[in-house]
Chains A and B, each alone.
Chain A
Amino acid sequence: MGLVFALWPVTVSVQELIANQASPQSALTRNEARLYFTLRLQQWPNGRPIRVFVLPDDDPLHIAFVKNILGLFPYQLRSAWDRQVFSGTGQAPTKVASEAEMLQRIATIPDAIGYASAAANDPRIRTLEVR
């Protein structure tokens, strides 16, 4: 058993979808989460513009979140963003350099959405359940 785990590639154990405490939602469907992260749905249900934060494409947390929570592959997200940016039909998400910066941005920007490797221990950040 120990050998199996030793051979398993290094992965991030848990990924949580997080948003600023001001988020009008406490849970969302996987499909809604995909629409937010592909930037095809650009507003919260209350009409406020959503601001999406992501880590670099090759970050292990980004890869794990995209595959496990969104059910997409990172190259599909990249391609959706590039197609929108270079045809003038959408904007790119804001890239952050580290998970610490992600948490800091989500905590301080009212319409922000992102992800973390654990439920955040910060009253300004809400963990959204993905159903």
Chain B
Amino acid sequence: MGSRRFVAALLINLLGVAPASAQSVWDSLQVHGFAATAALNTTANRWFARRSGASFEFTEIGLNASLRPLPRLLLAGQVLGRRAGGMYDGTPAIDFALADITLFSSPRQRAGLRLGRIKNPLGLYNETRDVPFTHPGIFLPQVVYFDKVRNLVLSTDGAMLYSETTTDLGTLSLNVLGGRAVIDTNVEWTYLGRDYPGRLKSDRNSWIAGLWFTSHAERLRLGLSGASTGFKFAPDRYATGTLDPGTTDVLYWILSAQYSAENWTLSSEYAREPMHWHGYGPSLPDRKMVTEGYYVQGTWRPRPAFELLLSYQEGYANRADRNGRAFAAASGGLIAASTNFSRILTAGISWDINQHWMVRAEYQHHQGTFVLSPRENPDPNRLAEHWDLVGLQAVFQF
């Protein structure tokens, strides 16, 4: 009780406003959530699946609550359980948990501070990447929003300053976030090739920044956002066949554009990811590489409840070797060139049955296997270059 009074007094001092009454504080409590499950089938390769063929291993459940105890203070948190083939087993995790403090707020300028676990505002979709009805399609464009290393850019434990300025042309917003990246085993599989004995840790502070322009009426959105992060491998001292304690530095940036009309939306993003591995010893020599990807995506809403999706994307593991031939030659022909690129054509439809339910169907044709998780597909010799994916998803939200 004493500590609660102390916190209340601290907040009142900090924010300069007292709540009107206890009743009105709890009036602001909101609880929202979503659940989604998908049936997937591939003609070859494993995608959100531990086996080839049909799978029912992509299920998500999210629940969040928010409270505004003071006009300038918002508290919010979300728990997310995500089962995704061989990558995630569905164990619930804290997706975000933050305090948002409004520093100042007027029709021309707004600024604030967020503290806690914050979703990284990267590109058009990263902040709500796991929430199905905030993006078209069952899967985000993989060449920009990799699911195989989702956690590297998912969220940060730290602090963020954000500001918005509204001018006669539109709104300009700038945000800067610093803290520790929340990383996991999928990051190790993708950046180190497999799960070596030892642990991968955040090496230093991550920095994330974004600059966005939004025209009046939000027809046009243009943005540049990026993250600079690094991780360090701490080998198990008693194990053999592991790596030296090396580090990997990653810079990841996205150029975004989106135009929204009444019945259609056109979006395009280009991402580039320069990486540098060093100090891992002879089994993973020092090297630098730049990954890149882009997509163009159109959605058309013939009726408000129906949305058709068509998109094309290309991604390259190494932009200096886009066709992967140098890589294949260096492996002595053991690993196919097509593991180093992905070209994906996607067509989909979604139907909002009512305000709570949505169903989606999607077809993708792939050339190349760059976007696949090496954790789900550990043997590169068994990968097929040309493959198709069909998915059905049901989504509930409240």
Residues on A lying within 8 angstroms of B by beta carbon are 29, 31-32, 34-35, 40-43, 45, 47-49, 56-58, 71-76, 79-80, 82-83, 85-92
Majority-rule SS of A interface residues: loop
Q: Is the CB of A57 within 8 A of B355?
A: yes
**What residues on B are CB-neighbors of A83 within 8 Å?**
127-128, 134
B:73-121 near A, CB below 8 Å:
74, 76-78, 96-98, 100, 102, 105-107, 110, 114, 118-119, 121
Q: Is the CB of B32 within 8 A of A88?
A: no
Q: Is the CB of A85 within 8 A of B64?
A: yes
**Of all chain B residues, which has the CB nearest A95?**
B355
Kindly count the residue-residue contacts between A and B in the assembled complex, taking CB atoms under 8 Å apart. Answer: 94
Q: Out of B76, B110, B131, which one reaches A82, CB within 8 Å?
A: B131
Say yes or no: A85-B32 contact (C-beta < 8 A), given A32-B107, A58-B304: yes
Q: Out of A31, A74, A89, A91, which one reaches B28, CB within 8 Å?
A: A91
Tally of chain B residues near chain A (CB < 8 A): 43
Q: Is the CB of B134 within 8 A of A82?
A: yes
**Of all chain A residues, which has the CB nearest B305?**
A58
In the complex, what's the smallest C-beta–C-beta distance from B143 to chain A, in angstroms? 22
Complexed CA–CA distance, A42 and B106 (Å): 9
Q: Is the CB of A56 within 8 A of B355?
A: yes
Q: Is the CB of A91 within 8 A of B68?
A: yes
Q: Out of A40, A43, A88, which one reaches B71, CB within 8 Å?
A: A43
Complexed CA–CA distance, A40 and B71 (Å): 13
**What residues on B are CB-neighbors of A85 within 8 Å?**
30, 32, 64, 66
**Of all chain A residues, which has the CB nearest B98?**
A88
In the complex, what's the smallest C-beta–C-beta distance from B70 to chain A, in angstroms? 9
Given contacts A49-B71, A71-B216, A91-B74, 16 further A-B contacts (CB under 8 A): A35-B107, A40-B110, A40-B164, A41-B105, A42-B105, A72-B217, A72-B218, A73-B262, A80-B218, A82-B134, A83-B134, A88-B78, A88-B96, A89-B74, A89-B114, A91-B30
Q: Out of B28, B100, B262, which one reaches A88, CB within 8 Å?
A: B100
Q: Is the CB of A87 within 8 A of B127?
A: yes
B301 within 8 A of A: yes
B:130-180 near A, CB below 8 Å:
131, 133-134, 164, 166
